[in-house]
Amino acid sequence: MKNFLIGMPGGFDYKKFHRDYRAEFWGIEAIMFDSEEDIKVLIEEAQKKKFNFGVHFPLHKNIFIPCRDPLFLSLNSDLSEESYNVFERELAYCKSIGAQYILVHFPKPVLIDRSLNWNFWRFGNEAEWIDEKLYPYDKFKEKLEEMFGRLSGLSSKYNLQIVLEHDAINKYLYEGALLEELFKRYDNLKLCIDTGRLHLFELVDKNFDSKEFVKKMAPYTFIVHLWNTNVNDNSTGGHYPVLPSLKVSEGWGDIESYLNIIASINNDIKVLFEHRSDLITDEELETCYNWINSIINK
């Protein structure tokens, strides 16, 4: 379990830490802390308890006004440039406090096919997406290549791992080899695979094969964000803990298959339990950890 992490949103939650964290875990992924005091607590606890931490952009809550995630691919050049500036400032800060990596969503804005049913997907506001008809492939390729190049440069400049977490994946990304080619070319950038999003997007876009995507992208994966959801009963709003009792035949994501594919290709990944542990018992939480460990760390 030395490659396991727990999520810590909003601030350092001692109750969550004491229940969810295990001494052998790698560390914590922090996101949207409310204040500098909260960040100070994270730094002190990491030093005291000797755990690592990474950052899911943003570490500082509300640092980017239009939405949570930088809009690197915005067709508005001023907004795109401001996104890079804000991200670099946060990256430099994270490096200065000892973060081991910084993770950011892409592509943002998300390109969506308006003919699909997006009821399963949650967007914070309209700035987060754009109709793919308004974004030709050649322009997307140009902007994505620019994004990879600039982020690769920032990773080298600050000597800090940058991880790109996929959001919704339109056909520009899952058809062809563009994404693979960019990760090969800019090999200091890595990918985060999100199991819950994979399951949901396969329900949105019937042409998307989540397992094939995982197989293609496993070599470039740094971390897996692990959670499950069932659209037939989404009363929890998603981010349900992964358990062996959750059946694919009943609408849950096929988490075991995703992880088996990744583990067969890449044995150097981290796993973040990006779930709501408050939805399950202590015994179920232990089952969750042990089950995933048996798959990933065979």
pLDDT tens sequence across 235-257? 556 899 999 999 999 999 999 99
Note down the domain range covering 117. 4-296
What is the CATH number for 145? 3.20.20.150
pLDDT at site 233 = 64
Rounded to 5 degrees, what are φ and ψ at 251?
Answer: 110, 0
224: closest CA among 273, 260, 182, 294?
A: 273
pLDDT at site 122 = 84
pLDDT at site 106 = 98
Tokens found for residue 158: 């600050």
Q: What is the mean pLDDT of each run of 10 residues along the chain (298 residues)?
A: 97 97 98 96 98 98 89 97 98 99 98 91 89 97 99 99 96 96 99 96 94 98 97 72 96 97 97 96 98 95
pLDDT at site 74 = 97
Give the HSE-up count for residue 62: Cα atoms under 13 Å, Cβ half-sphere: 3
Report the domain count for the chain: 1
pLDDT at site 92 = 99
Tokens found for residue 13: 């939650």
Element containing residue 284 per DSSP (H, E): helix 282-296
Tokens found for residue 142: 């140009």
Q: Other C-beta atoms within 10 Å of 132: how many? A: 17
Sign of CA dihedral 219, 224, 230, 234: negative
pLDDT at site 65 = 78
Sign of CA dihedral 261, 264, 270, 271: positive
pLDDT at site 66 = 84
pLDDT at site 234 = 58
50: closest CA among 29, 30, 24, 32?
A: 24
pLDDT at site 79 = 96
Give the pLDDT confidence of 123-135 residue by residue, as tens digits.
888 899 999 999 9
The whole-model pTM stands at 0.96
